[in-house]
């Protein structure tokens, strides 16, 4: 089976860390993925991060799906869940 690579038009990378972010924002794919992993729907994520479009959120979630291990490593190293809730979710 051939692997199909998905183009992520809304994703770029931080120059100092290489972490994937939504283009022209400081919002990491990790942050969007964490909201989603906490149960937020894409429309709710846009509500919490109103400077993002729904298209940007869906692209970030698609990137997460394509690079799950990479993003989960960033989540473990830089979790915003603790900042948002005060406790670590598993």
CATH number where 66 lies:
1.10.10.10
Domain hosting residue 49, numbered range: 11-85
Q: Which residues contact 34 (CB under 8 A, 6 or more apart)?
A: 75, 79, 80, 81, 84
Whether 1 is covered by a domain: the verdict is no
Whether 3 is covered by a domain: the verdict is no
For each of the chain's 90 residues, which pLDDT tens digit applies? Answer: 555 567 899 999 998 989 999 999 999 999 999 999 999 999 999 999 999 999 999 999 999 999 999 999 999 888 655 556 554 444
Q: Which residues contact 81 (CB under 8 A, 6 or more apart)?
A: 34, 38, 75, 87, 88, 89
The number of folded domains in the chain is 1
Can you give the pLDDT at residue 54? 98
Structure tokens that stand for 25 in this block? 């924002």
Q: Are 46 and 52 in contact (CB under 8 A)?
A: yes
Integer-rounded Cα radius of gyration of the chain: 13
Whether 90 is covered by a domain: the verdict is no
């Amino acid at each position: 089976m051939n692997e199909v690579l998905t183009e992520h038009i809304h994703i770029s990378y931080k120059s100092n860390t290489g972490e994937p972010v939504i283009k022209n924002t400081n919002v990491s794919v990790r942050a969007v993925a964490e909201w989603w992993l906490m149960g937020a729907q894409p429309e709710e994520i846009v509500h919490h991060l109103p400077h993002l479009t729904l298209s940007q959120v869906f692209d970030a979630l698609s990137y997460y799906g394509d690079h799950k291990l990479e993003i989960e490593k960033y989540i473990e190293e830089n979790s915003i869940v603790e900042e948002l809730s005060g406790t670590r979710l598993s």
